[in-house]
C-alpha cells in the first residue's frame, strides 16, 4: 500500500457515505411512509456529520498535501489529488458551528417557506430568508473570492464561474431574447390545447419508460419511480435513478421531465466505474450536468426528427386525444413560447428570463443592495419588466421556488449556462456526425450517446468546464450557438 492507494481508500470511504445519504434521500422522496421523516432527517444529519469528519480528517489533508507535490503520479492521479485537496481545503474552512447553524436555519426556513407559500404570505418566510441570506454573506467571506462575493456562491455549483461572466451571459440574453420573445408574442399563437386533455396515468408511465429505453438509459443500472418533483440521483454509475411526475391533465409535463431526467442520468451512467470515489469518477459541474439534460430535453426531445420517430407510438397509445393532431402540430406545440408565471413550466426561451430575474435578485441580496422585505415588490416589478406578466400572488411569484428555502444561492445561473452549453455541444455533435438528425429520426440514439460518452461523460472531472468546452467544441462557451439554434427553430415555427 502506498500513499496514493491510501488516498483512494479514504476518498472512496467519503463517497460511500455520501452515496448512502443519496440512497436515504431517494427513499425519502419516493418510498418513505409519511411518519418516517423525523428519524430520517436525523439519520441524514448523522451521515452528513460523519462525511464532514472524514472530509476534514487531518491525516487525510496531510496525505493530500504530500501527494500534491509528488511528481511521480500520472496526470490523472495528479488531477484527482489536486481536486481532492481543493475540496479538503474548502471543507476545512467550515467549523462545526457553521454547519450546525446552517442545518438548523435550512430546516426551519423550509418549513416556513411551505407555510408562507400555502398561505400566500411572504412575511411568514421573511425572517428565515433574511437569516439565510446573512449566512450566505458570511459564507462568501469564509470561502473567499477575487472580485465579487457572489463568485464564492457560484463556485459551489460551477467551479470557476464568476459574477462578471454571468452578467456577460445575461446581457446577451437580454439583448437577444427579450426582443425575440416580444416578436413571438406578437405573432400567431400555437395551439397546444390538446396537451391538456385527459391522459391516463398508466399509459403515460409506459410511454415514459419507452422514451427512456430509446434514449439508451440502462434499466439494469437504474430505475424510474414517481415523486412530487422529478429528479435524478445516483449511487454509482451502476445505479443511477430517475423519477417523474404524472399529471393526467397535462401530457407535456411527463414527457419532457422524463427526457430531461434521463439526460442527467445518462451522464452519471457514463462516468467510469473504475473511477468511483475519485474526482475523475464525478461529473464536472451543475452547468455541464444541465447541458446533458437540456440537450436531450430540448435539442433532441423537442426536435421534429425526434417526433417523426416517436409520435406514431404516442398516437397509438392515445388515439382519441390525438386524433386531430399531426406530427407537425405536435412538434409546434412542444415548442410553443408563452411568457408565464412559473419557471418550471416555462418554455425553453422565456425560461432564461426567469433565471435572469433570480440572478439579479440574488446578486443584489448578497451585495446588500436590496433587502429581503422588499423582495415581493422587486420580484413583481421584474416579471412585468422582462416577461410582461402581472404576478397575482406571492405564492405564484417570489415564493414559487424551493431553492432559497434550501439555502441555495448561486444555483439558478447553472440552468441557463447548461442550456447554452447544450446548444454548443449539440452543434458540435452534428458537425462531427453529419447523420445525427437522421439517426434521431430513425430512433437510433446510440451515435449521439457514444459521442457524449467519449467527449464528456467518461472524463469525469478530468477537465474544468471551460477547458472541456474548448476541447469538445474548439472554443469557449459562446452564446451564438444558442442564438443560432433559437433563430433557426423559432423563426420557422413562428414565421418571424
In the complex, the smallest distance separating the C-beta of residue 87 from a second copy, rounded to whole angstroms, is 18
Of the residues 150, 276, 426, 482, which one makes contact with a second copy according to CB under 8 A:
276
Residue 412: HSE in the Cβ half-sphere, 13 Å Cα cutoff = 25
Contact between 17 and a second copy (CB under 8 A)? yes
Question: Should residue 99 be labelled a site residue for a second copy when binding is judged by CB under 8 A?
Answer: no
Contacting residue, 8, 11, 19, 300, with a second copy by CB under 8 A: 19
- The CB-of-19 to a second copy minimum distance in angstroms stands at 6
Residue 143 φ then ψ, to 5°: -80, -30
Name the active-site residue from 158, 261, 282, 362. 261
Map the footprint of a second copy across residues 233-252, applying CB under 8 A. Answer: 235-236, 238-239, 241
Residues composing the chain: 496
DSSP 250: B
Name the residue nearer to a second copy (CB basis): 236 or 293. Answer: 236
- Minimum CB separation from a second copy for residue 177, in Å? 40
Tell which positions 305-344 bind a second copy, by CB under 8 A.
none
Backbone dihedral region of 332: left (phi > 0), alpha (psi from -120 to 50 degrees) or beta? alpha
CB-CB neighbours of 384 under 10 Å: 12
Binding footprint of a second copy, residue count (CB under 8 A): 37
Is 426 in contact with 486 (CB distance < 8 Å)? no
Q: Which alpha helices (H) appear in 36-121, and where do they start and end?
A: 37-55, 58-68, 75-92, 96-118
Cα dihedral sign, 286-291-296-297: positive
Cell digits for 174?
437580454
- Chosen residue from 6, 13, 87, 480 binding a second copy by CB under 8 A: 13
Residue whose C-alpha cell reads 476545512 in the numeric block: 92
Site string for a second copy, 200-229 (x = CB under 8 A): ------------------xxxxxx------
Interface of this chain with a second copy, residues 396 to 435, rule: CB under 8 A: none
Coil/strand/helix, residue 301 = coil
Rank residues 20 and 250 by Cβ distance to a second copy and give the closer one: 20
Q: Among residue numbers 49 through 68, which ones bind a second copy (CB under 8 A)?
A: 49-50
Minimum distance, C-beta of residue 390 to a second copy, in the bound complex (Å): 41
Residues 95 and 482: their CA atoms lie apart, in Å, by 42
> Which one of residues 4, 12, 90, 101 is an interface residue with a second copy (CB under 8 A)?
12
Give the SS3 label for residue 236: strand
DSSP, res 463:
S
CA distance 406 to 302: 31
Rounded CA separation 403/110 (Å): 9
Q: Which is nearer to a second copy, 218 or 305 (CB)?
A: 218
Minimal distance, residue 33 CB to a second copy, in Å: 5
Query: Is 139 an annotated catalytic residue?
Result: no
- 140: nearest Cα among 448, 456, 400, 366: 366
Minimum distance of a second copy from residue 275's CB (angstroms): 12
Residues binding a second copy (CB under 8 A):
12-13, 16-17, 19-20, 23-24, 27, 31-36, 38-40, 42-43, 46-47, 49-50, 218-223, 235-236, 238-239, 241, 273, 276
Active site members: 261
Amino acid at each position: 500500500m502506498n500513499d496514493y492507494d491510501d488516498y483512494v481508500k479514504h476518498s472512496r470511504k467519503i463517497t460511500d457515505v455520501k452515496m448512502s445519504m443519496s440512497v436515504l434521500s431517494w427513499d425519502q422522496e419516493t418510498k418513505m411512509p409519511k411518519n418516517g421523516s423525523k428519524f430520517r432527517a436525523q439519520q441524514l444529519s448523522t451521515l452528513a456529520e460523519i462525511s464532514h469528519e472524514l472530509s476534514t480528517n487531518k491525516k487525510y489533508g496531510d496525505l493530500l498535501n504530500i501527494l500534491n507535490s509528488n511528481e511521480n503520479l500520472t496526470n490523472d492521479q495528479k488531477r484527482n489529488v489536486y481536486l481532492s485537496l481543493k475540496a479538503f481545503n474548502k471543507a476545512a474552512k467550515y467549523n462545526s458551528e457553521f454547519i450546525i447553524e446552517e442545518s438548523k436555519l435550512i430546516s426551519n426556513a423550509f418549513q416556513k417557506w411551505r407555510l408562507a407559500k400555502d398561505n400566500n404570505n411572504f412575511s411568514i418566510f421573511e425572517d428565515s430568508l433574511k437569516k439565510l441570506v446573512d449566512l450566505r454573506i458570511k459564507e462568501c467571506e469564509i470561502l473567499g473570492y477575487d472580485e465579487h462575493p457572489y463568485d464564492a456562491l457560484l463556485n459551489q455549483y460551477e467551479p470557476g464561474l464568476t459574477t462578471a461572466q454571468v452578467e456577460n451571459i445575461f446581457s446577451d440574453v437580454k439583448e437577444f431574447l427579450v426582443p425575440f420573445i416580444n416578436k413571438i408574442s406578437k405573432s400567431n399563437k400555437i395551439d397546444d390545447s390538446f396537451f391538456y386533455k385527459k391522459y391516463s396515468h398508466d399509459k403515460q408511465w409506459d410511454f415514459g419508460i419507452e422514451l427512456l429505453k430509446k434514449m439508451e438509459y440502462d434499466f439494469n443500472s437504474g430505475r424510474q419511480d414517481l415523486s412530487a418533483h422529478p429528479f435524478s440521483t445516483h449511487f454509482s454509475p451502476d445505479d443511477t435513478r430517475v423519477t417523474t411526475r404524472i399529471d393526467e391533465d397535462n401530457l407535456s409535463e411527463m414527457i419532457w421531465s422524463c427526457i430531461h431526467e434521463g439526460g442527467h442520468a445518462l451522464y452519471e451512467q457514463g462516468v467510469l466505474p473504475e473511477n468511483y470515489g475519485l474526482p475523475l469518477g464525478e461529473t464536472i459541474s451543475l452547468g455541464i450536468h444541465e447541458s446533458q439534460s437540456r440537450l436531450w430535453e430540448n435539442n433532441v426531445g423537442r426536435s421534429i426528427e425526434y417526433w417523426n420517430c416517436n409520435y406514431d407510438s404516442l398516437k397509438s397509445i392515445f388515439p382519441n386525444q390525438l386524433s386531430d393532431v399531426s406530427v407537425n402540430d405536435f412538434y409546434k406545440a412542444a415548442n410553443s413560447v408563452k411568457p408565464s408565471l412559473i419557471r418550471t413550466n416555462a418554455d425553453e426561451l422565456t425560461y432564461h428570463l426567469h433565471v435572469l430575474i433570480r440572478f439579479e435578485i440574488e446578486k443584489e441580496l448578497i451585495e446588500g443592495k436590496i433587502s429581503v422585505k422588499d423582495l415581493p415588490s422587486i420580484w413583481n416589478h421584474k416579471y412585468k419588466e422582462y416577461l410582461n406578466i402581472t404576478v397575482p400572488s406571492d405564492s405564484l411569484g417570489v415564493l414559487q421556488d424551493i431553492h432559497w428555502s434550501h439555502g441555495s444561492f448561486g444555483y439558478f445561473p447553472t440552468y441557463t449556462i447548461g442550456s447554452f452549453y447544450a446548444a454548443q455541444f449539440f452543434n458540435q455533435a452534428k458537425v462531427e456526425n453529419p447523420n445525427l438528425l437522421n439517426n434521431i429520426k430513425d430512433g437510433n440514439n446510440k451515435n449521439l450517446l457514444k459521442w457524449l460518452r467519449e467527449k464528456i461523460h467518461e472524463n469525469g472531472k478530468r477537465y474544468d468546464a471551460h477547458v472541456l468546452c474548448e476541447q469538445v467544441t474548439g472554443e469557449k462557451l459562446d452564446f451564438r450557438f444558442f442564438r443560432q439554434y433559437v433563430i433557426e427553430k423559432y423563426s420557422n415555427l413562428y414565421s418571424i
